[in-house]
Structure 1
């Protein structure tokens, strides 16, 4: 591993290397790195993919097979790769429409095309100053720092650490382009229930996101900010959900009597390890006792309709609602909506132009959507700190 001096930003562009939280100097990036999670594309891919996801944990194939049922249900195909192919095309078209001549390279953490392959490809084409857009909007180890660690690992393992730099677009959980789909979805769901004769007080909105270990949640975000219980991860989701409901209530006064809460899904850790709660299906099972007759589940933690949305919400949560005798709807994710795609390119232009933080669009009042992550941000307590790009060490 390359030795890293403390209090610097490794593998960063010159503008980001100072460690200032916001980069206000224009950077002449020569490539965009679309960094995804990855997913299997056939039955034979499922176990090798899950080995990649759980690498280093010593989980036997027999156990992986037990948890592969949702992939098997869909023919071993995760939709996430197809979604990223389409997103890449949409980003290329939006960049071209604005006269921005930048290639988009797409690479995954856990399946082909791997990040290693595309970073080498970019360098071979002379594109060595990369700006990464990770397909996760919030602050936590799995949604931010793990991508940054992968960038550092790739640059070290390929020997490109002295040639290629990778900066990262800020967390975009409260960017207008990202939240627009959730606002529209909640508004449409409430109006649909009302049209069916459901009283506002009988409607429940559940904003759902991926559960993570409580210890990771508590360490999410910058350490010098008091985020409250659940760290930046919970605070960011709550702030977005509150903003969405405020907007919907402004446009439809009847929504003032509609209840909402933040729930979690897709827990994958051992029962002995605390994870963020409550679980979406557990809450749905309780709604009848609260007098609710309809529930809208809002996948506020997800960028597109990948496996956790199709299985955990469209399948399991829908079944829980049916068992509870509730009307059910799952609202849309941003996907490749024109508003969201335009918002991503707006985020790219922030860094190309060095836009001051005060001029950057956001819908919540939360601090901490940094261009350069702060020391110790989003620690993984099980594995400790590893080299990570786009942030001050450790």
Structure 2
């Protein structure tokens, strides 16, 4: 794994008590002029779960699984963890790495796809944290999008198969697979991937989502119809975001006579708050109100294949000229270019 001397897990972060919720949301929305009453409204999602976002514990679980995988495969890299918006904050982690004498770090963000929020924002935050740490700050090499890596796709296939089996036997063949991802402004989606990368309308983000839905459906082999839906929209109603919204689509499917859906949260690497609230609460309620059977597949989480993927990605990055394993024929995101995933 040389030339690296540490591994860094980068994530979003989330509150872990009721008292954390509003300060966390203030961190997320700083500089955007969001009224405090709107923060309190969003905070209700967290208060339903005791103020605890699942994401921090899921990062701890992933770190422990990766540490065990490293040990079993002779990888001697210390593991650090830093978040964008809540403890442990990235800036504090980078400062600690500098204090520990770490010089070159390979990092993985808990985001598989390419758009501003899931790629460029992490690169910007790394640069800010390194600047704050001063001249002793380590170099940090961020692994690129891994949306079509077998270690991401295979757990989704297995979890989708398990979810489909959770439906009544007479509902499985006609169940619609809804591949759900976080919606983003259409302008941000169009900007993803950078100029000249060969993506169509919607940029890298939408193209990658389409590919993964196809890869999972083909490997599932059940013949169920599938489609891409979006969730977790925010922002002013006047701003166009990617559609269809999952709740709107479930209502349409009910009118079309579909009696069961399997929701696959493939836009996420773990079952964090957007999954727990927007799918397990809101979308489930929508389906139940319409008499539709609803089951939700697990995200990759700490599936052994996802865990081993982390080690494989590090090895690919460490090898000169190494090419990431990928199951799709999409052109790569401009991983290191300043043109990649810029906001509009």
Question: Pairwise mapping of residues 63-102 of structure 1 onto structure 2 (< 5 A)?
Answer: 63-102=38-77
- Higher CA-based Rg: 1
1:313 aligns with 2:285: no
2:26 matches 1:51 = yes
Q: 1:294-373 residue pairs with structure 2 within 5 A?
A: 294-354=260-320, 356-357=322-323, 360-369=324-333, 372-373=335-336
The answer as to 2:236 corresponding to 1:281 is no
Residue 197 of structure 1 pairs with residue 166 of structure 2: no
Partner residue, 1:12: none
Q: Which residue of 1 aligns with 2:157?
A: 183
RCO comparison, higher one (Cα < 8 Å, 6+): 1
Q: Counterpart of 2:88?
A: 113
Structure 1 position 324, deviation (Å)? 1.3
Aligned to 1:293: 259
Aligned to 2:343: 380
Is residue 2:204 matched to residue 1:247? no
1:315 CA drift (Å): 0.7
SS at match of 2:294: strand
C-alpha contact (below 8 Å) 1:141/1:378 kept by paired residues: yes
Q: Structure 1, residues 83-137: CA drift from partner, whole Å, max 9, x if none?
A: 1111111111111211111111001000011111111111111112111111100
Q: Quote how far apart the aligned CAs of 1:367 are.
A: 1.4
Deviation of 1:158 after TM superposition, in Å, equals: 2.3
Is the 1:264–1:280 contact (alpha carbons within 8 Å) kept by the matching residues of 2? yes
User: What is the deviation of 1:189?
Assistant: 3.4
Structure 2 residue corresponding to 1:222, chosen from 168, 191, 194: 194
Aligned residue pairs total 344
CA–CA distance in structure 1, aligned partners of residues 254 and 42 of structure 2? 30
State the TM-score, normalizing by the size of structure 1: 0.84
Shift of 1:223: 1.5
Q: Is contact 1:211–1:277 with CA below 8 Å preserved after alignment?
A: yes
The Cα shift of 1:198 comes to 2.1
Q: How far apart are 1:188 and its partner, in Å?
A: 3.0
Map of 2:226 onto structure 1: 260
SS of the residue 1:205 aligns to: strand
**TM-superposed deviation, 1:329:** 0.3
Distance in 2 (CA, whole Å) between partners of 1:74 and 1:115 is 25
**Counterpart contact for 1:27–1:351, Cα < 8 Å:** no
Over the residues paired in the alignment, what is the CA RMSD in angstroms? 1.5
- Structure 1 spans left out of the alignment, 5+ residues: 1-25, 250-254, 382-394
Task: Name the counterpart of 1:165.
Answer: 139
